[in-house]
């Protein structure tokens, strides 16, 4: 009988120890966070608001616009209002307007300010099921100008110093031997390719046409003064000097 009592007490002690270990382990475990909540400093939680479906409509869209390439940047979609800017033909123009939703389709109507000879009105659509595509038309304010239709695809500008025919002009300091035997036209292209890598939208038609054929080129701005690197600034100055020499000496230059 005594032996039975000893075994019973020993068993109770072991069970009690195991329960204490489990409780201690549970106390040390960090509770899993609910992905839909945020833990505050005081330990309480607050729901994280779901992203607005309108945010999918924001972004940069690029495509053909007549004989040019256009970048449409939609920067604001709030309530029933839309705002943004377009970059095309060397012009950077703001637009603003309204939109309505029918089913899964958003229909936008937006106007440029009207104080520029090339201003007009945009009408375009974005479908909720395909938020990376913009389809629409542009009607000029000026009489006699042609209405343009366009299909744009989402494409984000990104500075890439390694793209183009002369990437070295953005990657390292050029030396005289790098440019002294180049023709004026090639030097001009090399210099302007630096600007193109920064998304510069060219005013001169022949330069626009040259760069708009490149897949990597996304017109994004008409002012890049604050974006050029020190290497690029020095290379631009060097190239311009040799452009001048090539123009002055013609066929004798670099021969």
Tokens of 69: 């390439």
CA distance 73 to 100: 19
- Dump pLDDT digits (tens) for 121-135: 999 999 999 999 999
Region of 17 on the Ramachandran plot (φ > 0 left; ψ -120 to 50 alpha; else beta)? alpha
Burial of 143 (0-12, 13-18, 19+ CB in 10 A): exposed
What's residue 62's pLDDT?
96
- Dump pLDDT digits (tens) for 27-83: 444 444 455 444 555 555 556 555 567 899 999 999 999 999 999 999 999 999 999
Q: If DSSP states are collapsed to H, E and C, what string results for the chain?
A: CHHHHHHHHHHHHHHHHHHHHHHHHHHHCCCCCCCCEEECCCCCEEECCCCCHHHHHCEEEEEEECCEEEEEEEEEEECCEEEEEEEECCEEEEEEEEEEEECCEEEEEEECCCCCCCCEEEEEEEECCEEEEEEEEEEECCCCCCCEEEEEEECCCCCCCCCCCCCHHHHCCCCHHHHCCCCHHHHHHHHHHHHHHCCECCCCHHHHHHHHCCCCCCCCECCCCCCCCHHHHHHHHHHHHHHHHHHHHHHHCCC
Give the sign of the dihedral formed by CA 49, CA 51, CA 55, CA 59.
positive
112 in Cβ contact with 89 (< 8 Å): no
- Dump pLDDT digits (tens) for 194-248: 999 999 999 999 999 999 999 999 999 999 889 999 999 999 999 999 998 887 7
Which of 60, 55, 57, 65 lies closest to 221 in space, CA to CA?
Answer: 60
CA distance 159 to 141: 34
What's residue 34's pLDDT?
53
């Amino acid at each position: 009988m005594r032996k039975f009592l000893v075994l019973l007490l020993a068993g109770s002690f072991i069970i009690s120890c195991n329960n204490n270990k489990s409780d201690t382990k549970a106390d040390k475990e960090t509770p899993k966070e609910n992905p839909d909540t945020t833990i505050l400093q005081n330990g309480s939680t607050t729901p994280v608001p779901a992203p607005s479906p309108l945010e999918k409509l924001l972004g940069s869209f690029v495509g053909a616009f007549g004989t040019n390439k256009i970048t449409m940047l939609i920067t604001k979609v709030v309530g029933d209002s839309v705002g943004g800017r377009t970059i095309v033909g060397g012009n950077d123009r703001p637009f603003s307007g309204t939109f309505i939703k029918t089913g899964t389709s958003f229909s936008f109507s937006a106007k440029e300010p009207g104080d520029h000879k090339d201003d007009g009105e945009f009408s375009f659509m974005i479908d909720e099921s395909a938020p990376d595509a913009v389809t629409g038309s542009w009607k000029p304010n000026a009489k006699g100008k042609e209405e343009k239709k366009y299909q744009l695809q989402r494409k984000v500008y990104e500075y890439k110093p390694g793209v183009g025919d002369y990437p070295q002009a953005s990657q390292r300091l050029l030396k005289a031997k790098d440019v002294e035997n180049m023709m004026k036209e090639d030097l001009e292209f090399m210099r302007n390719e630096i600007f193109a890598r920064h998304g510069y939208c060219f005013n001169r038609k022949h330069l626009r046409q040259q760069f708009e054929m490149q897949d990597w080129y996304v017109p994004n701005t008409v002012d890049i003064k604050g974006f050029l690197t020190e290497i690029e600034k020095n290379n631009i100055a060097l190239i311009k000097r040799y452009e001048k020499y090539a123009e002055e000496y013609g066929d004798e230059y670099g021969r």
